[in-house]
Amino acid sequence: MEAHVLEVVKMGIIDKIFGKGKPQVALFVDGPNVIRKQLSVDLREVKAKVSEHGNIRIARIYLDQYASDKLIEAMVNQGFEPIITTGDVDVTLAVEATEQIVNPDIDIVAIMSRDTDFIPVLNKVKKHGKNSIVVGVEPGFSVALKNTADHLITVKTQERYSHRPRPSGSRPQAPRPPRQAKPEPPSQ
């Protein structure tokens, strides 16, 4: 009896260490859609936010064949498995995310993107009784995508290039030439 109790206690400790009992999450990132020069997206922040919903068991970022070695290394250093595709990144991501429907070790499918290409995947995930999370960034975060997921995470970004938008409808002003002094009238 003591051996059985000890085994149960050990399993409880192991479960706590490895997070069993918490939902298990598969996170898929649409690299070309959210990793852009104009935006500063901190993927560590993304992982921290997603971790609030469960343990991240799978963390993959999908990149096209033109991704630089430096970018790929940065993604690996942030704990992502880079998946390099020669075709459309969205297709590969959608197929692999949909595969998680039949993965008994995954409870939540999280997709980081801004476009509507993944709405069918999220609908299929929900249809099969799993939860879904959409992680997105502005600008360009699809309203339809936001409304499809069970949970929504909007990542705050900092634009790397600061600019002040001009009011709509206004035209940029051309620089004016310097004013010339008016000649004084001749004295009489």
* Tens-place pLDDT, residues 30-82: 999 888 766 678 889 899 999 999 999 999 999 999 999 999 999 999 999 99
Spatial neighbors of 81 by CB under 8 A, at least 6 apart, are 58, 59, 60, 61
Query: Does residue 174 lie within any of the structural domains?
Result: no
Query: Does residue 182 lie within any of the structural domains?
Result: no
Predicted pLDDT of residue 171: 45
On the question of pLDDT at 130 being above 70, the answer is yes
On the question of pLDDT at 13 being above 80, the answer is no
Query: Does residue 165 lie within any of the structural domains?
Result: no
131 — phi, psi (to 5°)? -85, 160
Q: Report which of 100, 150, 83, 99 is spatially closest to residue 123, judged by C-alpha positions.
A: 150
Distance CA 39, CA 161 (A): 8
Cβ-count burial of 177 within 10 angstroms (0-12 exposed, 13-18 middle, 19+ buried)?
exposed
Predicted pLDDT of residue 163: 35
Predicted pLDDT of residue 47: 95
On the question of pLDDT at 145 being above 70, the answer is yes
Residue 88 β-bridge partners: none
Distance CA 4, CA 111 (A): 41
In the predicted model, what is the mean pLDDT of residues 172-181? 49
* Number of domains composing the chain: 1
CATH of the domain at 145: 3.40.50.1010
> Which tokens belong to 91?
């297709």
How long is the chain? Answer: 188
What range defines the domain where residue 56 resides? Answer: 21-159
On the question of pLDDT at 172 being above 50, the answer is no
Query: Does residue 68 lie within any of the structural domains?
Result: yes
Spatial neighbors of 80 by CB under 8 A, at least 6 apart, are 29, 43, 59, 60, 61
For 176, other C-beta atoms within 10 Å of its C-beta total 6
DSSP label at residue 102: G
Query: Does residue 188 lie within any of the structural domains?
Result: no
Query: Does residue 60 lie within any of the structural domains?
Result: yes
Query: Does residue 93 lie within any of the structural domains?
Result: yes
Query: Does residue 58 lie within any of the structural domains?
Result: yes
Going by pLDDT thresholds of 50, 70 and 90, the confidence category of residue 17 is low
Q: pLDDT, tens digit, for every residue of 85-129?
A: 998 899 999 999 999 999 999 999 999 998 899 999 999 999 999
